Amino acid sequence: MTVVDSAMVTTAVMQIDRWLDSMRSDWPTPGYGGPVVHWWNDCLTYQGTGLDWRYEGIVDGYLTLWRRTGSDQWRDKAIQAGKDLVAGQLPNAHFQNSCFEQNPNEGGTPHEAAIDVALLQLANQIAGTAPSLHDCFIATAKRNLDSYWFDQLWHEPTATLWDSSDVASFVPNKAATFLEAVLLLADATNNDHLLDRYAIPTGRSILSMQVRCPGELLDGAIAQNRLGDHVVAAYFPLYVARCVPPLLKLYELSNDQCFRDGALAAARFLTRVREPDGGFPQVLYGRGRQIRYPRWIAGAGDIARALQVANGFGAATEIKPTVEWILLGMQSDGSIASAEGFGRIVPIISRHHDFADKVGVAGWCDKAFRVLATLVDPEMTREVDRAPRLQNRAERSLP
Amino acid sequence: MPTKQLTSPSDLKLSQIQVREALELIVRHHCTELTLLHATVIGKPQLTSALGRYRCIVENKAKVIALGAEASEIHSVVGATKPHSLVTVVDGRLATILLPMRAGGYSLGRDLPSRVWHSLGYDLVQTRGVEGPASIFWATCERLARRFSRPDLADRCRIAMLQTLITSRISGSLATTVVREYRRRQ
Encode pLDDT of A22-57 as tens digits: 999 999 999 999 999 999 999 999 999 999 999 999
Name the nearest CA neighbour of A137 among A225, A49, A78. Answer: A78
Residue B144 has pLDDT above 70, yes or no: yes
Q: Do B24 and A45 touch (CB under 8 A)?
A: yes
Distance CA(A62)–CA(B94), nearest Å, equals 51
Distance CA(B20)–CA(B47), nearest Å, equals 9
Q: What confidence tens digit (pLDDT) does each residue in B39-48 have?
A: 999 999 999 9
Q: Do A290 and B34 touch (CB under 8 A)?
A: no
B127, containing H or E segment: strand B122-130
What per-residue confidence (pLDDT) applies to B11?
Answer: 41
Distance CA(A323)–CA(A308), nearest Å, equals 11
What per-residue confidence (pLDDT) applies to A384?
Answer: 64
Region B62-79: mean pLDDT is 95
- Chain B partners of A106 at a C-beta cutoff of 8 Å? none
Residue B1 confidence class, pLDDT cut points 50, 70, 90: very low
Determine how β-strand B177-184 pairs with β-strand B85-91: antiparallel
- Chain B partners of A396 at a C-beta cutoff of 8 Å? 34
Contacts of B112 (CB under 8 A, 6+ apart): B71, B74, B88, B120
- For helices A6-22 and A54-69, give the axis angle rounded to 10 degrees: 130
Name the nearest CA neighbour of B158 among A283, A184, A50, A296. Answer: A283
**End-to-end CA, chain B:** 45
Weakly modelled stretches of chain A, pLDDT under 70: 1, 384-399
Name the nearest CA neighbour of A372 among A340, A335, A342, A339. Answer: A335
What per-residue confidence (pLDDT) applies to B6?
Answer: 40
Name the nearest CA neighbour of A323 among A290, A380, A369. Answer: A369
Q: Cis omega (within 30 of 0) on the bond before A28?
A: yes
Interface check B162 vs A, CB under 8 A: yes
What per-residue confidence (pLDDT) applies to B113?
Answer: 95
Q: What confidence tens digit (pLDDT) does each residue in A347-387 have?
A: 889 988 999 999 999 999 999 999 999 999 998 887 765 54
ipTM comes to 0.89
What per-residue confidence (pLDDT) applies to B10?
Answer: 40
- The pTM assigned to this predicted structure is 0.94
- Chain B partners of A102 at a C-beta cutoff of 8 Å? 14
Measured in angstroms, the CA of B115 and the nearest CA of chain A are apart by: 34
- Partner residues linked to A43 by β-bridges: A36
At position B86, the amino acid (one-letter code) is L
**For A291, which residue in chain B has the nearest alpha carbon?**
B152
Q: Cis omega (within 30 of 0) on the bond before A104?
A: yes
Angstrom CA distances, A175 to A149, A162, A225, A227, stand at 10, 8, 10, 14
Measured in angstroms, the CA of B160 and the nearest CA of chain A are apart by: 6
What per-residue confidence (pLDDT) applies to A212?
Answer: 97
Name the nearest CA neighbour of A132 among A92, A210, A84, A79. Answer: A79
- List the single best residue of A24, A226, A346 to mutate versus B (max B Cβ within 10 A): A346
Measured in angstroms, the CA of A302 and the nearest CA of chain B are apart by: 23
Residue B83 has pLDDT above 60, yes or no: yes
Q: Which of B54, B152, B163 has the CB atom closest to A349's CB atom?
A: B163
Q: Do A397 and B34 touch (CB under 8 A)?
A: yes
What per-residue confidence (pLDDT) applies to A386?
Answer: 52
Residue A360, helix vs strand vs coil: coil
Region B30-38: mean pLDDT is 86
- List the single best residue of A105, A166, A225, A398 to mutate versus B (max B Cβ within 10 A): A105
Residue B57 confidence class, pLDDT cut points 50, 70, 90: very high
Q: What is the separation of C-alpha A321 from the centre of its chain, rounded to a whole number of angstroms?
A: 20
User: Which value, in Å, is the radius of gyration of the alpha carbons in chain A?
Assistant: 20
**Is the CB of residue B1 less than 8 Å from the CB of residue B105?**
yes
Measured in angstroms, the CA of B72 and the nearest CA of chain A are apart by: 30
Interface check B70 vs A, CB under 8 A: no
Q: Residues of A at the B interface (Cβ-Cβ below 8 Å)?
A: 27-28, 39, 41, 45-48, 97, 102, 104-105, 232-234, 283, 285, 289-291, 345-346, 349-350, 352-353, 393, 396-397
The alpha-helical segments, DSSP class H, found in A45-109 are: 54-69, 72-87
- List the single best residue of A22, A25, A42, A45 to mutate versus B (max B Cβ within 10 A): A45
The alpha-helical segments, DSSP class H, found in chain B are: 17-30, 45-54, 71-81, 95-98, 114-120, 133-147, 151-163
